Structure 1
């Protein structure tokens, strides 16, 4: 398990934090869409207050370390590794609390090509600690609106982690599943769990629509988010989401494995 200094160095070397690949232009576009309450940027969140561009820049500067200067319009974004490390510790604390009470947990990702194995390692650790890793609505159809129109997906689970998978023969979702920000998969999973009489998750772990959609429905939710996804951080600021870890969510999948080991150790879940 990397210590804090080693993990900080890894975050910077892998560009999970520090200067990241996410562009300032892409982030600002997302902030404008969120301020306009565009569903593509809200990803399942229904904010209590009105968030202006200035509000969002201030929030993301506080939560991630990006520039709060509205005149800064281009170039790569920056994530403060100290904020990432602090959030990882808080994230581990929520996992540890779930493990102590043997809570049922639901995992899901809209970034399966990058983050599947990060979550799967956490699911293994919680399962070994006595938690039930839930898999409701497996195989259930979920129709998601994309920029290509309405696409049919099916909810699938890989090592206890939910993802949206396109029907066999369609290649746009990739080998493991589709990249999606939609909250519909988590809503489908939670509705199926409720219809079956439970158990319902006491903790939802994920990203994108998984964390925002679950938090908006009143479930404790923790997750990861990049600088161009303001919704989870707004959810955290409004008390809908418990913990959000700021990092680049699009680097190579293997670069997240040291984070898995760090979180498991901090949560006292290492085997």
Structure 2
């Protein structure tokens, strides 16, 4: 069993929290773009009101622990580990609730290189608890706009976790898929579920567009987010996203394993 003290130390040692690798410049740019409702950072969320970049920064200071000083414009960003721990506990409660009623769960990630293992561990435990882990629309193509133009990506699954890879691509040397912020994959998955008349998810677990896109459509959605991903925290503040966990989403994949163990233990789902 991983104690709170041990997890706090792990968060700081791996820079999942504390001084993180995300730069303040990147975060401030995201706050400005979110205020302008740029789809690259709204991630499928449609805010219920207008947010200025100062308001976004103030919210991120409250939710993540970043600096609320607009004069602080350079250097590494900061996440308060206590906020991460509190959010992980709420995240775990959501897992426990859906497991208790053996609900249907959808898991998806826009960070397959980093977070696939984290979600796959959750999927395995939820399946063992009797939950239905949904894997619809495998192979379905989605056109996603990127800074390199429109790219056609195909939905794929590993360990019950959805992600996208460029259409026609095959995994090479452990390559798992493409990084994306787009909400289009989760919309395609949910559309196929609805069209097929099968069960819809009681809980969506993921990041980026998987959480914001699902939450915007009225599904209970939870997941982690970095300091340059304000959409999840705005969504949480507006009641669209159920839980947003502040942490660096781009460290080594192995560093997320203790988080999986911690939340599963808190949810009484340890195997």
Q: TM-score range by the shorter chain?
A: over 0.9
- 8 A contact 2:182–2:209 mirrored in 1: yes
Give the Cα–Cα distance (whole angstroms) in 2 for the partners of residues 105 and 59 of structure 1: 29
Instruction: Name the stretch that deviates more: 175-184 or 160-169.
Output: 160-169
Match of 2:129 in 1: 129
TM-score by length of 1: 0.98
Is 2:245 the counterpart of 1:241?
Answer: no
TM-score by length of 2: 0.98
Match of 1:79 in 2: 79
Deviations 1:26-68 (A, max 9, x none): 0000000000011111010000011001111110000000000
SS at 2:145's partner residue?
A: strand
RMSD: 1.2
Match of 2:3 in 1: 3
Give the Cα–Cα distance (whole angstroms) in 1 for the partners of residues 87 and 23 of structure 2: 22
Match of 1:140 in 2: 140
Match of 2:53 in 1: 53
Give the Cα–Cα distance (whole angstroms) in 1 for the partners of residues 53 and 176 of structure 2: 35
Deviation at 1:167, TM superposition (A): 2.5
Give the Cα–Cα distance (whole angstroms) in 1 for the partners of residues 2 and 24 of structure 2: 30
Match of 1:66 in 2: 66
Is 2:172 the counterpart of 1:176?
Answer: no
Match of 1:44 in 2: 44
* Uncovered stretches (5+) of structure 2, i.e. residues with no partner: none
Match of 2:89 in 1: 89
* Uncovered stretches (5+) of structure 1, i.e. residues with no partner: none
Runs of 4+ in 1 over 3 A off after TM superposition: 168-172
SS at 1:205's partner residue?
A: strand
